């Protein structure tokens, strides 16, 4: 049995709950092709996916100025919306983890910087919109992670309290936001983390190598 205290688990989306990198990197290369550029290696794009369109565009179009960058961002989002779930999948073990949380009455939800216009159809396509206790997107509030407000909003929607909550993410901003919200933080090392990152410096309470490792933090 999981810890008897009524816990709440909130997840980041890209690189934590779902492996969205195949579709997001493919979209970047689609956009590069529109501009007559060769495809970037998958690995070069994968480590930027947690940084969203902005991070991908920095590596895909490093010479773009602010005005061009904004035009590229709008076009990227248009293209990505058309292939949200072509290759996106659960990380191995994540579907099982959600089943265990549901069976034990552990409330869980999603707090992401991804825009709602992408978050909501993506989660719906995996049948998660009716299961999640909250879905907080990057444009739900005026603040985004690493600000703690989205996490606190998610907790309120899920009727949770920070002292009995975990936030799971794969980026330093996730750990910063979770700590600022008064939650225990879990670093998903299986996510989109660049080689050479000093993960210990991020200060997560727990580091996991696969989703099901989270269960030990709940016992």
What residues are labeled active site?
12
Which residues have a Cβ under 8 Å from the Cβ of 184 and sit 6 or more positions away? Answer: 165, 166, 167, 178, 205, 206, 217
3-class DSSP state for residue 183?
coil
Q: Which two tokens stand for residue 30?
A: 């689609």
Closest CA to 100 of 144, 54, 58, 131: 131
Neighbours of 198 (CB within 10 A): 7
Which residues have a Cβ under 8 Å from the Cβ of 203 and sit 6 or more positions away? Answer: 175, 179, 185
- Dihedrals phi, psi of 110, to nearest 5 degrees: -125, 130
Tell me whether residue 43 is exposed, middle or buried, using C-beta atoms within 10 angstroms of its C-beta: 0 to 12, 13 to 18, 19 or more.
Answer: exposed
Residues 123, 136 contacting (CB under 8 angstroms): no
């Amino acid at each position: 049995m999981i810890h008897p205290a009524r816990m709440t688990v909130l997840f980041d989306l890209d690189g934590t709950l779902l492996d969205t990198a195949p579709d997001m990197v493919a979209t970047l290369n689609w956009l590069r092709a529109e501009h007559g550029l060769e495809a970037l290696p998958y690995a070069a794009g994968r480590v930027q996916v947690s940084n969203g369109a902005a991070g991908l565009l920095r590596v895909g179009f490093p010479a773009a100025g602010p005005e061009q960058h904004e035009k590229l961002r709008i076009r990227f989002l248009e293209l990505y919306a058309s292939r949200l779930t072509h290759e996106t999948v659960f990380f191995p073990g994540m579907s099982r983890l959600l089943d265990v949380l549901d069976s034990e009455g552990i409330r869980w939800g999603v707090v992401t910087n991804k825009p709602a216009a992408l978050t909501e159809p993506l989660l719906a396509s995996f049948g998660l919109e009716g299961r999640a206790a909250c879905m907080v997107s990057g444009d739900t509030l005026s603040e985004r992670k690493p600000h703690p407000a989205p996490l606190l909003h998610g907790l309120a929607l899920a009727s949770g309290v920070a002292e009995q909550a975990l936030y799971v993410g794969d980026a330093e901003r996730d750990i910063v936001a979770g700590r600022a919200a008064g939650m225990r933080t879990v670093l998903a090392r299986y996510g989109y983390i660049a080689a050479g990152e000093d993960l210990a410096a991020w200060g997560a309470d727990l580091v996991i190598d696969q989703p099901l490792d989270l269960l030990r933090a709940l016992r």
